[in-house]
Homo-oligomer: A and B are copies of this chain.
Amino acid sequence: MALKTAKEYIDSLRARKLNLYLFGELVENPVDNPIIRPSTNAVAMTYKLAHEPETEELATTKSMLTGEKVNRFNSLFKSPDDMVKKIKLLRRLGQRTSCCFQRCVGMDGINAVFSTTYDIDQKCGTEYHQRFRKWLTYVQREDLCIQGAMTDTKGQRGVAPSQQADPDQFVHIVERRNDGIVIRGAKANQTGSVNSHEMLVMPTLNLREGDEDYAVACALPMDTEGITLIYGRQSCDLRKLEEGDIDVGNFNFGAHETLTILDNVFVPWDRVFMCGEREFAITLVERFAGYHRQSYGGCKPGISDVLIGAVASVADYTGVRKASHVRDKIAEMIHLSESLHGEGLACAYEGTKTEAGNYQPDLLLANVCKHNVTRFPYEIVRLAQDIAGGILVTTPSEKDLRHPVLGKYIDKYLRAVPDVPTEDRLRMIALLHSMTFGLTALNYQAESMHGAGSPMAQRIMIERLTDMDAKQKLARSIAGIDKREDVLA
């Protein structure tokens, strides 16, 4: 089956009957909803690039399962090179959409579930891996969009799932039947769920004895009975409903998250990939985290490219671009962004093969990559606000600009370099506003902070992945506590 075009992808979404709510109301037609559509467009770009000659090699690959050409987002990483191409693809998509394009969780989840099911089967004699291969083959052939569903609502932090006051704070198995299982709970902060055909449910943390029912991984079509999606608010979301296209900043693209309720949802056995093997929950989580922490070394530098281009443009428009301090700040923005990209590439190149045959990135470097992502974008935003000037947060509305009298005032007084149209300047500032405060600001800030795990999660992994004994041995030898090395020996 041929890879879907962007249009085919969008049309394919119409067939679903989602139980989706936005601002307290059921959304009958999410695809054409002006609040939602930009996020759908961003996902559509992942389909579009598979058909563009220049990006085809990045956006598609040969399936490890079938040898057929598939969209990279549904693929298994057959080599470090596949992971490198992933990073370069994500950067391109960040450049093209200037926001989150929502498919990385699915891609990264697929790869983590693939190897983990293999390991479970090896140890437990189960058959999850074959089931998963079959499901994934279907996904690849139908070219579906898969949403990775990991983050539980978590209740009181630090309390185990089975010890929570409300046992539903983590998704869990409430019934095991002959034909499948029934699960209940909710997944929070679910990126791109409305734009997906299916969701891949995974556990969210290490499970201990007594938490067996929380060890569940499975696949669900988004419109399965019992699923309710509640669309999250975003900064400036209502601007999408306004006339005009300036104030929204990024008119075409965006993202979204939902709170996804799973209220006694039935899953047939052929879609169940983990069911009670609690000791593998952390394996799955850590592998997923490794893949996903790498991802941020792709998308965020891509978004940075747009942000840096916008900053350079507003500096051009006011005539300060050549000022040494402006050049210096822009160089710093580039430096920080490329640092992230380099680290995303490094952990890919240093990747290793799993028992199941797909590859995973170097985990230490992947954590290091993501950890810098929790810092550098914030500094880039700060520098962007510096160069943008105070007007970033005080622009008149597009309606003012279109007003016969006010429009003339605005055109006259907000013109800086004479031959740059005032509207161009306002558009560029609106884009910067949307990226630093508005609709897509969360993609560059809060998502950089918490996506793929909050900073503390990386610190814990960095500590754990380090062989401190080896380092201490080096120090003891140099210090002469252990016998010093004889260089002539």
Contact = CB atoms under 8 A, between A and B. Distances in A.
A21 B479 contact: no
B349 A166 contact: no
Contact of A463 (B327, B399, B406, B463): B327
A168 B412 contact: yes
Contacts of A185: 413
A349 to B, nearest CB: 4
A320 interface: yes
Contact of A446 (B155, B159, B393, B468): B393
B318 A396 contact: no
A96 interface: yes
9 contacts: A156-B318, A232-B393, A236-B236, A305-B470, A313-B472, A390-B450, A393-B447, A428-B476, A436-B445
Nearest to A381: B378
A433 interface: yes
A410 B228 CA distance: 11
Contacts of A233: 247, 394-397
A402 B335 contact: no
Interface stretch (A40-48, A56-64, A71-79, A216-224): A40-48
A282 interface: no
Nearest to A451: B390
Interface in A297-335: 305-310, 312-313, 316, 318-320, 323-325, 327-328, 330-332, 334-335
B468 A312 contact: yes
Given A325-B324, A346-B343, A155 B308 contact: no
Contacts of A399: 23-25
Contacts of A338: 364-365, 368, 462
A356 interface: no
Q: How many copies does the complex hold?
A: 4
A374 interface: yes
Nearest to A473: B309
Interface in A331-352: 331-332, 334-335, 338-339, 341-343, 345-347, 349-350
A459 B328 contact: yes
A89 to B, nearest CB: 15
B318 A157 contact: yes
Given A98-B478, A339-B339, A471-B312, A455 B386 contact: yes
Contact of A342 (B238, B305, B369): B369
B382 A378 contact: yes
Of the candidates A154, A364, A393, A472, the one having the most CB atoms from chain B within 10 angstroms of its own CB is A393
Contacts of A306: 471, 474-475, 478
A415 B153 CA distance: 9
A385 B445 contact: yes
B442 A393 contact: yes
A372 interface: yes
A289 to B, nearest CB: 14
Interface in A238-260: 238-239, 245-247, 249-253, 257-259
